[in-house]
Amino acid sequence: MAIILFDGECHVCDKSVEFIIKRDPDGYFHFASLQSEVGQNILYYYRVERNIDSLVLIDHNQYYQKSTAALKICRNLKGLSKFFYILLIIPLPIRDFFYKIIAKNRYKWFGKKDICMLPLPNVKKRFLD
């Protein structure tokens, strides 16, 4: 099991979670929003910056952020998405440069939500908060 911490107020983040769920039929990934008490406790436990503005992946007792988290998630997905994992060969500063541009502008480009999405009953058990 791996845990993905995501921005529950971000439309593109919610769509990313839906994308992952569709391509993870075995339920390897579980989810919590960064804003939730569970998400904040996980960040504290792994000593991750608490006011982080990034996707966080907890996998095999290690945490990953930004582009590394996104690409490591791809490795465990079904279908063609799995092949994005190879982009880890691109140097981290270059990958995170583009990640930060999207992260910085995500509310402006995709909008912000007032509440987190409500998961469907068949995947609700994968949400930790």
**Which domain, by its residues, includes 37?**
2-126
pLDDT in tens, the chain (129 residues): 999 999 887 778 888 999 999 999 999 999 999 989 999 999 999 999 877 778 999 999 999 999 999 999 999 999 999 999 999 999 999 999 999 898 888 878 877 766 655 666 678 889 887
Max Cα-Cα span within the chain: 40
Domains in the chain, number: 1
Exposed (0-12), middle (13-18) or buried (19+): which is 71, by Cβ within 10 Å?
buried
* Tokens describing residue 129: 């908060």
As a whole number of angstroms, the distance between CA 62 and CA 8 comes to: 22
119: its two tokens? 């998961």
Q: How many CA atoms lie within 13 A of 84 on its CB side?
A: 15
